Chain A
Amino acid sequence: MVRSVRNYLLLLPLLAGCSTGGADLPTLEAREGMASIPAGVSSMAFYVQIENRGSDPDTLVALAVPGAESATIHTMTMEGGMHRMEEVPFLPLPAGEVVALRPGGHHGMIEWETPPEYGDSIEVTLRFTRSEDLTLRIPVISPLELP
């Protein structure tokens, strides 16, 4: 019991990553991260909220996931009434705003050779142009569990 509580406490800084940086750097907080994967496929969607609490803008430029084949940022576009998925090279994080990777909008896409199972957690590192990396440990869920 004591050990499990201690392990949980050790995980807390990873569950809600914070990057405070120096005096002139933006202050970023990433929260509510989750990875949703339907049964029987090797691609998962990554969702998270990133708040820039500083007075300077920043930009999300990459995702890194140990063990995954790739991790990219995508958005959905519309052409002739059809949805298309498109990779975006970066995502602006304006000062004082919350930017969400969310279902049906911008989202991360993580490809696996062998995907993790429900109940597992994975580590996702967010890279920015100005702030230090933020690393989150997030749960792997079924789309049925999406809020």
Chain B
Amino acid sequence: MNRFKLKRSDRFRHTSTCLLAALLLSGCDSSALSKQRLAEFEFHEPRPLPEAVLTDQNGEPFDLRAEGAGKITFLFFGFTSCPDICPLTMVNMARAAALLEPAEREEVLIVFVTLDPPRDSPEQIALWLGGIDPSFVGLTGTQAEVNEVLGQMGYSMPSVPRPESGNYDVPHPATVFVFTRDGLGRYGYPVGSRPPETIAEDLRTLIAMETS
């Protein structure tokens, strides 16, 4: 007799136990994995939400620190004439946001700040975000203002040669800054390379996270 062969009742018990264990593990695992993932992107020194009032895509003033207080804020710097990584990052966030329940979605603020104000007027940003997710906030200001906001996140804006005709590149941080409810930027998150399901899972972890 094959000693590894289980009786029907034993098989049933064994299968049930395995299923239960898998369910428990998957429940624990997704949250634990998410926390582990976020820990990889944690800043040594968190930075507060930038103190800045910029102009949103409707032409209205937007106080970044006040609006982000009490929410999970994703802050991305980029420019609309960027054909590859900027729309990819924004679309990944849009796909992740669409996976959240409405109540979860209300807890999350997703903000784009242009580093290319000469080309990115509020109208231009509204048009661009309209094709991605109109619920996102898109901000512009003077070049000095947006550079200053970037500076508050610890980056300095290199000078950008702007030819009179043709496209030009605008350097921008490689990560999305993630702020917890207490207004602290704790993570530099590589949104562009992550599946939306993973981002949504991490958003849920951040929503559930207690911060002092």
Contacts and interface: CB of A to CB of B under 8 A. Distances in A.
Say whether A associates with B. Answer: yes
Interface of A: 36-45, 69-70, 74, 76, 78-86, 103-104, 107, 109, 111, 142-144, 146
A65 to B, nearest CB: 13
A83 B167 contact: no
A76 B84 contact: yes
Nearest to B133: A144
Nearest to A87: B169
Nearest 3 pairs between A and B by C-beta?
A39-B131, A40-B127, A143-B87
B118 interface: no
Contacts of A45: 83-84, 87
B88 interface: yes
B155 A38 contact: no
B188 to A, nearest CB: 8
Contacts of A78: 174
Given A104-B192, A143-B132, A41 B172 contact: no
A144 B132 contact: yes
Given A85-B84, A104-B192, A142-B131, 14 more contacts: A36-B83, A38-B80, A38-B86, A42-B81, A42-B167, A45-B84, A45-B87, A70-B166, A81-B175, A83-B171, A103-B192, A143-B91, A144-B94, A146-B91
A81 B193 CA distance: 16
Nearest to A78: B174
Interface string B24-49: 00000000000000000000000000
A140 to B, nearest CB: 12
13 contacts: A37-B83, A39-B131, A40-B80, A40-B130, A41-B81, A45-B84, A82-B173, A104-B192, A104-B193, A109-B167, A142-B131, A143-B88, A144-B91
Nearest to B171: A82
Given A82-B158, A104-B192, A144-B132, A38 B87 contact: yes
A107 B131 contact: no
Contact of B155 (A76, A81, A144, A146): A81
A21 B138 CA distance: 50
B169 A84 contact: yes
A84 to B, nearest CB: 5
Contacts of A37: 83
Contact of B83 (A82, A86, A109, A144): A109
Contacts of B166: 69-70, 111
Given A81-B155, A84-B169, A111-B167, A38 B131 contact: yes
Interface string B67-94: 0000000000000111111111011001
B132 A38 contact: yes
Contacts of A111: 166-167
B8 to A, nearest CB: 45
